[in-house]
Amino acid sequence: MKADKKIIKSWVRQQNRTSRSITMSIALLGFVNVMMGVVQAWSLAHIFAQLLMQHVSDVQMLLVIFIICCVVRVLLSYLQELMALSAGQSARRRLRHHILERIMVAGPVLLRQNHSAKLATLLVDRVEMLDGYFARWLPASMLWVVAQWSIVAIVAWQNWHAGLVLGLCCLALPFLQAIFGIATAVASRRQFLAMSRLQTRFLDRIRGIATIVLSGNAERDAQDLRTAAEEFRHRTMKVLRVAFMASATTDIVMIVALVWIVVSQSHALMHDHSVDHASAALFAVFMVPEAFATFRALSASYQDKSHVNETAEAVHTLPQPSSSHGHDPAEKEEGAHAVLYDGRGISLVVKDVSYRWSEDRPPTLLDINFALEPGQTALLEGVSGAGKSTLIELLLGFIQPQKGQIFLGGVAMNTMSAEAITRHISWIGQRPVLFAGTLRENILFAHPNAREEEIQHALEASRVSQYLADLPDGLNTVIGEGGFGLSGGQAQRIAIARAFLKNSPLLVMDEPTAHLDPETEQDILEALKLLLQGRTALIATHSSQFKTLETTYHMTLDAGHIVSQEPKQ
């Protein structure tokens, strides 16, 4: 856990470093802004001092300076905001790219431990949430100490007594913050957890609302919801009572500084009636809010800081990018050229392959051996949990066996790059993922540069063409999320069309008809028979209908072993 924290901290530091230059520029603008504020307060103090002492000398000139300062400060703030906007965007852009890379390197295996929605949230929402961190928190944290103490120094130079008071108050601020802050930090973190739990619970209830309503428990559950929320409120208010003390310290310190300076300066002024002294006193008073403004900006974006740690933690659940393959990619690409196959398919040899998902669990696969000649088809059976999916992921190169080797067309797979492996394989799962887009885009996904006749052939062979007429816009119908709903059988035919279009020598299928009714299954099977011609195939399935296929092998997997391997006559 400690090592994790260290990694997370160094990751955050690295992020800070990469955006340092723009952070610096924003902070620098902020500093110039503060300095303009000093000039502004100075001119203002002199105007009032001269007016009050009725000793007007250059008021008009000072007024012009004051106005110029006002305008310049507005422009500087505008500029700061624009820069913060682009700082936030470029940091998010960079971060998203970084996360994308990590996801791509880890590949499909990620889906074993992570829900896809979680990955999508990391990729979009979590990254977007970091805007405030890069746009506001980083510059503010860089600026505040320098700005505050510069002001204290300048005030002290003009008016050492007021400077001392202001300095003392600024010094007290971190202490007071620490006293109240540390006490609340732990509690508020726990509170944040409770809050997110309450939100999750609400979301969970809403998602399952049909279940609750149909079991006749809606009213009772609404009461529960209220009780939980009320209880949460009570507990939160307890924490907030202290937490607001922490934020009240800024008010306290500032008001104390203000009142103290006014009272002490007034007493001094009673004895010394000079314009200089009067303007120095006024200047000190005008600088009090300025001295605390940068700190206020920092506290305002405090919650932005907590987001970055959460994201860092989420990013670190993804595997490290470097650990994927042992070989140099260039060398692997070499290996790929040697893969041998012709129009009849490709040979597949699995030799002594063992795999375990983690050290503390028994091996999922143990000493698996089989060989398929080009053009042969094998059926793979076994109850769920027997290791079928693991075997398929090994064949697809998503994971590498800890022991043994797999040869594709005579070439050991561990010498090939991921792209080289998948170039030779088509895969059909239980339910294809249909991307948001048109039907054509979804099929072309397999081969973006396919010619029109290739597409037509794939549509015919996969029998997608059979239902095209029923779709509102034919091939241009929008499917996937938010689009036209396709049935399981229709979707599976798209997967087959993709496989035709990709035209690779090895087919791997994982329960391709698991969700279909018998008639649809029969239909899909006809299309698959066409696809199997001239290809080597391994099909994991429970369905009896597949037994009608001309297959070479029936393999049965049980607890990581191949328990039967009957060649068919």
Q: Which is nearer to another protein, 148 or 504 (CB)?
A: 504
- Contact between 459 and 497 under an 8 Å Cβ cutoff? The reply is yes
Q: Which of 277/457 has CB closer to another protein? A: 277
State the Cα–Cα distance between residues 16 and 139, nearest whole angstrom: 10
Rounded to a whole number of angstroms, the minimum distance from the CB of residue 369 to another protein is 25
Task: Please say whether the beta carbons of 420 and 336 come within 8 A.
Answer: yes
Q: Output the smallest distance, CB 462 to another protein, in A.
A: 15
Question: Taking the C-alpha atoms of 48, 53, 54 and 58 in order, what is their torsion angle to the nearest 10 degrees?
Answer: -50
CA distance 23 to 31: 12
User: 97, 18 in Cβ contact below 8 A?
Assistant: no
d(CA 201, CA 150): 49
- Structure tokens belonging to residue 194: 């409770």
Exposed/middle/buried for residue 533 (C-beta within 10 Å: 0-12, 13-18, 19+): exposed
- As measured in angstroms, the least distance from the Cβ of 399 to another protein is 12
Q: Encoding tokens for residue 43?
A: 């001119």
DSSP 501: H
The least CB distance from residue 517 to another protein, in Å, is: 4
Rounded to an integer, what distance in angstroms lies between the CA atom of residue 191 and that of residue 197? 10
- Closest contact distance (angstroms) between CB of 485 and another protein is 8
Nearest approach in angstroms of CB 539 to another protein is 15
CB nearer to another protein: give 518 or 567.
518
Which of 193, 188, 136, 139 minimizes the C-alpha distance to 310? 193
Q: How far apart are CA 183 and CA 186, in angstroms?
A: 7
Q: In the complex, what is the shortest distance from the CB of residue 352 to another protein, in angstroms, rounded to a whole number?
A: 25
CB nearer another protein, residue 141 or residue 513: 513
Is beta strand 403-408 parallel, antiparallel or unpaired with respect to 478-479? unpaired
One-letter amino acid of 154: I
CA distances, 206 to each of 117, 188, 210, 295 (Å): 17, 27, 8, 41
Q: Is 2 or 451 the residue whose CB approaches another protein more closely?
A: 451
When the beta carbons of 73 and 332 are compared against another protein, the nearer one is: 73
Least distance between another protein and beta carbon 115 (Å): 8
**CA–CA distance, 46 with 208 (Å, rounded to integer):** 68
Q: How far is the CB of 473 from another protein (least distance, A)?
A: 18
Strand partners, 537: 377, 507
Whichever of 145 and 525 has its CB closer to another protein, that residue is: 525
Closest by CA position to 406, among listed 342, 343, 339: 339
> Which value, in Å, is the radius of gyration of the alpha carbons in the chain?
35
Residue (113 or 369) nearer to another protein, CB? 113
Amino acid at 50: Q
Residue whose CB is less far from another protein, 36 or 372: 36
Q: How near is the Cβ of 10 to another protein at its closest, in Å?
A: 26
CB of 6 to another protein, least distance (A): 28
Is the CB of 373 or the CB of 419 nearer to another protein?
419
Rank residues 284 and 368 by Cβ distance to another protein and give the closer one.
284
Tokens at 500, concatenated: 């035709």
Look at residue 352 and give its three-state secondary structure: strand
Q: Would you tell me the crossing angle of helices 2-18 and 20-52 to the nearest 10 degrees?
A: 70
